[in-house]
Amino acid sequence: MAVRPLVQTNDPVLRQRAQRVTSFGVALQSLITDMVDTMQAQKGVGLAAPQIGVSQQVLVIQFSENEKDAERGELYILCNPKIVRRRGEEPETEGCLSLPGFAGEVPRATMVTVKGQDAEGKPVHIKAHGFLARIFQHEIDHLYGKLYIDRVESAEKIWRVQPAGEGDEGEVESL
Ligand code: NI
């Protein structure tokens, strides 16, 4: 268990297409544990492996729909994810742990169906709505070298925000 450092915004690993996971052994389990630890330490709601410098198709997500709920939401761990269905489109504000100090209004599908594999390599099929669907799209983008700034309609849709602080009201979710 370890919190790993996030790579810098300009690290080329963030712009590469990550490698498919083919070995579901001890190294992967340790990577996933570290990713969950890192996501929680950074108070993020999602993290993709390239964000800690590992070019592999692995993502973790933990998000609770109920903001007043002190409990963390359900934990999703997904390898080799692929969006197989998407519906609707809605702009909403999101931030990224790899672009600290900024937020943007990003149009994304409101519903997605994602297929992939769990930590043991078993097939997984997830249907997500609303902000959870947004997080899946954001993290899967990371695995293809894409950042949210590539998806905003114009530069005016990106703005500066205060660095994340504990318990801030209306804080932008970082993914
Ligand atoms: Ni991100």
> Residue by residue, what is the 3-state secondary structure of the chain?
CCCCCCCCCCCHHHHCCCECCCCCCHHHHHHHHHHHHHHHHCCCCEEEHHHHCCCECEEEEEECCCCCCCCCCEEEEEEEEEEEEEECCEEEEEECCCCCCEEEEEEECCEEEEEEECCCCCEEEEEEEHHHHHHHHHHHHHHCCCCHHHCCCCHHHEEECCCCCCCCCCCCCEC
Q: How far is the CA of 123 from the centre of ligand 1 (A)?
A: 24
Q: How far is the CA of 128 from the centre of ligand 1 (A)?
A: 18
The predicted structure's pLDDT at residue 70:
54
Does residue 174 or residue 20 have the better pLDDT? Answer: 20
Task: Work out the average pLDDT over 98-126.
Answer: 97
Q: How far is the CA of 121 from the centre of ligand 1 (A)?
A: 24
Which of 139, 153, 166, 169 is an active site residue?
Answer: 139
Q: How far is the CA of 22 from the centre of ligand 1 (A)?
A: 24
Whether the pLDDT of residue 46 is over 60: the answer is yes
The predicted structure's pLDDT at residue 171:
76
Task: Work out the average pLDDT over 48-67.
Answer: 93
Whether the pLDDT of residue 164 is over 90: the answer is no
Q: Is 139 known to be catalytic? A: yes
Task: Work out the average pLDDT over 56-66.
Answer: 92
Q: How far is the CA of 150 from the centre of ligand 1 (A)?
A: 12
Task: Work out the average pLDDT over 80-88.
Answer: 98
Under the banding of pLDDT at 50, 70 and 90, the label for residue 54 is very high
Calculate the average pLDDT of the chain: 93
Separation between Cα atoms, residue 80 and residue 124, nearest integer Å: 10
